[in-house]
Structure 1
C-alpha cells in the first residue's frame, strides 16, 4: 500500500530551546489537515493532532512522549504563516527562496516526487543537510520518502507553547528526535510530497 501527503513543512528553533515542526497537508488520505511536532528544551516530544485518526497515523510513524488532540489551524500568506492550537501560538515570517529551493525547482515535479528520486537525493541530503533524510524506515514496517519541490527561509518567529514565550528565532538545534528524518537546521519552509508505503 502507498499513501501520499502533499503540503508544506515549517521547521523552526527558538531561543527558549523549543523546536517546532508544522505540517500543513493540503491533500492526503486523511483529507486536508495540519499537525505539529514540538520538542521542548528538556527534550519532551509532543504531537499536536487535530483528530484521533491523524494522531494514530502520525504516532505509528514517528516517536513522541505525549500526544494531544486539539484543533490545529494554519493560515498562510505569501510572506507568513500563523499557527494556532490550544497549546501553541506561532507566527513565522518567510524570506526569499533559498539556493536549495532554486535547485529543487529545476527538477520536474513528477521526478522530484518519485520514491526512486528520493532514494538518489538521500545520499546528498545526508551530507549537505545534516540530520535530514529523504528516505528511510518508519514505524510499523513502513518506508517513507520525502520529495521536496521548493524551499524558503524563515526569517523571524514569535509565539508561545503552553503559555511560555518562545523567544526569538534560532537554528533548529539540537535536531528534534521524532523519527528517521529531521528538519534542516536552518529555519525554513519546504514544499514536499511525502510517500508512505508498507
Structure 2
C-alpha cells in the first residue's frame, strides 16, 4: 500500500508531504529499511529509483528551505563560473525571517536584504523534473564581489573573469546588478581592469 502511495510523490519529498499522501512515519521507516527510499537530510527523502544527479545536496537543502535561494560559491559552481567545489551549500534567505538550521548536508545560510532578494532569481532544473531556486550567473558574480570578505578576493575575481569570457553574461548586466546591490564602483573598476 505504501509503495503505491509512494508513486504519487516526486523523486525528492519531505516527511510532511509523505504524510499528506497517506504515508505515516512508520511506513516511511519501512520504506527506508526496504531500500525504496533514502534519507537525504532530516525529514527529506529521495526515491532510490530516482534519476541520478550530482546535485543531491542542493535538492536536500532546497527541499528543507523552499524559500531559500542558492547563492555565492554554490551558484558559481552550478553556473560553471568556478573550478572550485564548495564544501557546503550556500543558501540565501531574506533578512528578518527565521534562520534555518541544517546539519546535513553542510549548509551556510546567508541573510540577504528583502528589497533585492528576488533580483536575478532563476529556477533551474538540477535533475529531471526537479528544480531549485538559484541566482543568475550575473547576480551570483556581483554577490561574490560584494561579499569578497566572505568568499575571498580570488574566488570573486576569478568568477568575474570567467563571466566576462563566456557568452550570455555582459558587462552591462553585471553593472546593472552592481547598481541594484550598491557595489557599482568596485565592480566597474574590476571590469575595466579585466577588459583593458
Which structure has the greater CA radius of gyration? 2
Q: TM-score, normalised by structure 2?
A: 0.23
Which structure: greater helix fraction? 2
**More RCO (CA 8 Å, sep 6+):** 1
Tell me the TM-score normalised to structure 1 length: 0.23
Q: Which has the larger strand fraction?
A: 1
